[in-house]
Amino acid sequence: MVESVDILSKLRKLVGNRLRIDEPLSRHTSLRIGGPASYFLELRNIEQLTNVIEFSQRENLDFFILGEGTNVLFPDKGFSGLVIQLKGEFEKFSIEGNQVTAGAGVKLNNLVEKLGKKGLSGLEFASGIPGSVGGAIVTNAGTKMGWIGDVVREIKIFHEGKVKILKKEETNFSYRYCDLPDKAIVLEVKLGLKNGKKSDIMNEIKESLKQRKRNQPLSTRNAGCVFRNPEKYEAGKLIEVAGLKGTRFGNAEISKKHANFIINCGKARAEDVCNLIEKIRQTIKEKFDIDLELELKIVKG
Ligand SMILES: Cc1cc2nc3c(=O)[nH]c(=O)nc-3n(C[C@H](O)[C@H](O)[C@H](O)COP(=O)(O)OP(=O)(O)OC[C@H]3O[C@@H](n4cnc5c(N)ncnc54)[C@H](O)[C@@H]3O)c2cc1C
């Protein structure tokens, strides 16, 4: 990597005082964990994004696209590179008939509610899933009732210096996975919905939020489910049956309400969360001979 003083002055020239240095990532993640990002930028349109990505590639500067930070764990030492959030133009959406075009920075929950109020059905399953539309596409966010890939018509991405459109047929969605090209940045999506009865949709949204409140530790700092459900089992049930609820490392704890959630009870460190993850994996392997896989994205520094 080029000298960081050199990078800093060049980046400043490119983006001016919007650049944040040593920005604590704990401020940008739902777990409230993560050391500093060397550089942190909110980009507001495709032109800014193009310039910055070209710059980072030219200067060999690692970058990470952060949505709302509800499914990531950054290390305690932080991220030595550039963390980018998509704001401004990327936070807009429009509706035409039963198709919605939403920027990657749109908050999924807001979108679900706005569509419900317009009597557009198809995203009700996503009510209560925090995060951005971009994050939802990358993780194929969903529940037992459906996932976002079901309603995607096309995805606009930035890849290898160009804006490209991927049609639904060119993209494969599976459980918490979307096969986007490596390092692709989601810019915008088109979703196809159906006309429905406003009151039915809003009731479904309300019911699903109630159920989440009952089953998930929503008032805590967490990043949703830590592990993917293995075939035929629920990861949370396995962890519960293994007697691990309430187990702690430092200030990180396996939720007593939902065993697939790890919560930050105070000033938990990423290391504490990783220790808990290791403990869970080992215990589940020993007791049930099952290898749990992560749903949480652990970012390398
Ligand atoms: C209380 C709670 C409940 C949850 N319940 C659910 C649930 O029911 N179902 C479910 O699926 N998930 C759930 N989650 C997990 C999480 O909300 C989803 O995975 C969400 O879609 C992540 O979106 P995000 O914007 O926060 O992404 P982030 O956590 O910021 O990022 C996740 C990944 O997506 C990448 N990414 C984000 N935006 C872009 C972009 N524009 N272009 C390229 N890459 C990008 C990041 O680099 C990272 O690899 C829950 C989380 C919490 C805290």
Are 152 and 168 contacting, i.e. CB atoms less than 8 angstroms apart?
yes
Torsion angle, CA of 28/88/110/221, rounded to 10 degrees?
0
Cβ of 103 below 6 Å from ligand 1: no
pLDDT over 90 percentage in the chain: 97
Number of domains in the chain: 3
Q: Which of 161, 193, 214 is the last residue of a domain?
A: 214
Query: What is the rounded CA–CA span in Å between residue 75 and residue 270?
Result: 5
281: domain CATH number is: 3.90.78.10
pLDDT tens for 16-70 read 889 999 999 999 999 999 999 999 999 999 999 999 999 999 999 999 999 999 9
- Tell me the residue range of the domain where 54 lies: 4-86
Which residues 6+ apart lie within 8 Å of 92 measured at CB? 102, 103, 106
Q: Which of 53, 86, 119 is the last residue of a domain?
A: 86
Cβ of 68 below 6 Å from ligand 1: yes
**What was the pLDDT predicted at 301?**
79
* Best probe residue, ligand 1, of 29, 52, 71 (max atoms within 8 Å of C-beta): 71
Average pLDDT over residues 190-216: 96
**Main-chain phi, psi angles of 128, to 5 degrees:** 90, -5
pLDDT tens for 169-193 read 999 999 999 999 999 999 999 999 9
Q: Which two tokens stand for residue 229?
A: 């459900």
* Best probe residue, ligand 1, of 90, 112, 138, 187 (max atoms within 8 Å of C-beta): 138
Higher pLDDT among residues 133 and 2, named by residue: 133
In angstroms, what is the span from residue 13 Cα to ligand 1's centroid? Answer: 32
pLDDT tens for 89-103 read 999 999 999 999 999
Q: Which atom of ligand 1 is nearest to the CA of 90?
A: 41
Query: Does residue 1 surpass a pLDDT of 80?
Result: no
Q: Say whether both 183 and 99 belong to one domain.
A: yes
51: domain CATH number is: 3.30.43.10
Q: Say whether both 126 and 209 belong to one domain.
A: yes
**What was the pLDDT predicted at 3?**
56
